[in-house]
Amino acid sequence: MSKASAAEEQTVNVYGWAAKDSSGILSPFHFSRRVNGDNDITIKILYCGICHTDLVFVKDGSLMPTNYPFVPGHEIVGEVTNVGCNVTKFKIGDRAGVGAMVGSCGSCNNCKQDLENYCPKMLWTSVGEYYDDLRNFGGFSDKLVVDHHFAVLVPNNLPLAASAPLLCAGISVYSPMMHYGLSNAGQHLGVVGLGGLGHLAVKFAKALGMKVTVISTSPGKQKEAVEQLGVDDFLLSHDQDKLQAAMGTMDGILDTVSAPHSLLPLIELLKTDGKLILVGAPIKAPELPHIPLMLGRKIVGGSAVGGMKETQEMMDFAGKHNVTADVEVIAMEHINTAFERLAKGDVKYRFVIDVANMLI
Ligand code: NAP
């Protein structure tokens, strides 16, 4: 018997929604996951966020090839319903979360430093195959079996739906803020793009006592950003006068924009030694204006999600400071409309699917 068919004999039935082709239209889909192993937990998925990366994957796979049928979803929260005999961190009934990854080699230098997210053999939650050759399918589905190392505890005081986006959007901004030293009270942080990632960057930065300026293409977001998110300043990216006035004022900038755009105006906003950190993933690579970088000893860096230890730290920080996403909870049956609206930037600031009440 082949390895694949042996694995398929030991599976559980799962119901979810999948894109079947590059139209990106999602529809109901039945599939299998492995049975709960000694190191695994099974999660009854209650909510799953919709990340901009899901939108790219369902449509064209331009970040990496999409295998159809494709079940998106990597901002997963739910209730633990089974634990393997080697699992001590979780018990049945706990609130657990899973983000963008479900596996890594465990032995490379990155894994040894709690940087599983940079392991060359890292496995994405909804892409590729697991070690048993079963396909990985994401969280737009009723249950997930996952190695407990790749799950975190969700603090009990946080509302579950609004916590789901922390698992990807949250850690993707928290990790670079910590790593690049952009987390100190009194520092001035610019946040470019007020979407899922951007609004959580604002919330973490405000919880850390930072001054925050949002740089946005959307005038309609200004009032709420100031009055509800508490941003200190809001610059429209086409307002040359205000950009000019803000030149040289920021210690760092987190760029979360999903579309091609120029980096030059952002580099000009930085102080000497300032850091521009790219976390958005536009399909077209930006041009790098090196002379303005050299003349201010400025740095351009990047960052992708975060390691598991740091993801638990981020969840605990969020629990302590009540940081959650502003979400619009939708029924699974409205998923295709939600994707259309996300493509137009019509959401404040994250769609989250009410998976538990999905009609089966
Ligand atoms: P999102 O909710 O759609 O937010 C993206 C924001 O970018 C929008 O709200 C908008 O903000 C701005 N934007 C969109 N189109 C633009 C355009 N044509 N010109 C200028 N600005 C535009 O997306 P998200 O889920 O936050 O994800 C943001 C990016 O991060 C995506 O590329 C995603 O793939 C990537 N991502 C990276 C990581 C990582 O680990 N590095 C993790 C998850 C996602 P304004 O309206 O304020 O301009």
Residue 1: which pLDDT band, with cuts at 50, 70 and 90? Answer: very low
Task: Give yes or no for a contact between 350 and 325, defined as CB atoms under 8 angstroms apart.
Answer: yes
Q: Are residues 152 and 270 in the same domain?
A: no
- Ligand 1 proximity of 279 Cβ (cutoff 6 Å): yes
pLDDT per residue over 79-112, tens digit each? 999 999 999 999 999 999 999 999 999 999 999 9
Identify the residue whose C-alpha is closest to ligand 1 atom 44: 53
Establish if 194 belongs to a structural domain: yes
Q: Are residues 192 and 288 in the same domain?
A: yes
pTM of the model: 0.96
Establish if 309 belongs to a structural domain: no
Please state the atom number of ligand 1 nearest to the C-alpha of residue 215. Answer: 47
- For residue 4, pLDDT over 50 is answered with no
Establish if 336 belongs to a structural domain: yes
Q: Are residues 50 and 146 in the same domain?
A: yes
Q: How far is the CA of 91 from the centre of ligand 1 (A)?
A: 36
Establish if 283 belongs to a structural domain: yes
Q: Are residues 175 and 154 in the same domain?
A: no
Determine whether 83 is exposed, middle or buried from the number of CB atoms within 10 Å of its CB (0-12, 13-18, 19+): buried
Q: What is the average pLDDT across 290-305?
A: 97
Give me the domain span that covers residue 178: 169-302
Distance of CA 233 to the CA centre of its chain: 25
- For residue 333, pLDDT over 50 is answered with yes
Establish if 118 belongs to a structural domain: yes
- For residue 134, pLDDT over 90 is answered with no
Would strands 26-34 and 350-354 be described as parallel, antiparallel, or unpaired? unpaired
Number of neighbours of residue 294 by Cβ within 10 angstroms: 9
- For residue 2, pLDDT over 60 is answered with no
Q: Are residues 231 and 275 in the same domain?
A: yes
- For residue 59, pLDDT over 90 is answered with no
Q: Are residues 145 and 189 in the same domain?
A: no
Which pLDDT score is estimated for 3? 46
Which pLDDT score is estimated for 111? 98
Q: What share of the chain is helix, strand, coil (3-state, %, to 5)?
A: 30, 30, 40
Q: Are residues 256 and 338 in the same domain?
A: no
Q: Are residues 107 and 184 in the same domain?
A: no
Residue 184: which pLDDT band, with cuts at 50, 70 and 90? Answer: very high
Of 204, 225, 230, 197, nearest to 350 (Cα)? 197
pLDDT per residue over 201-219, tens digit each? 999 999 999 999 999 999 9
pLDDT per residue over 11-46, tens digit each? 999 999 999 999 999 999 999 999 999 999 999 999
Q: What is the average pLDDT across 180-189?
A: 98
Residue 61: which pLDDT band, with cuts at 50, 70 and 90? Answer: low
Q: What is the average pLDDT across 172-186?
A: 98
Q: Are residues 70 and 128 in the same domain?
A: yes
CATH number of 188's domain: 3.40.50.720
Q: What is the average pLDDT across 63-87?
A: 94
Establish if 24 belongs to a structural domain: yes
Q: Are residues 13 and 106 in the same domain?
A: yes
Which ranges in the chain belong to alpha helices (H)?
3-9, 52-59, 109-112, 160-163, 169-179, 196-207, 222-227, 240-245, 264-269, 290-295, 308-321, 335-343
Q: How far is the CA of 173 from the centre of ligand 1 (A)?
A: 12
CATH number of 62's domain: 3.90.180.10
**Number of domains the chain contains:** 2
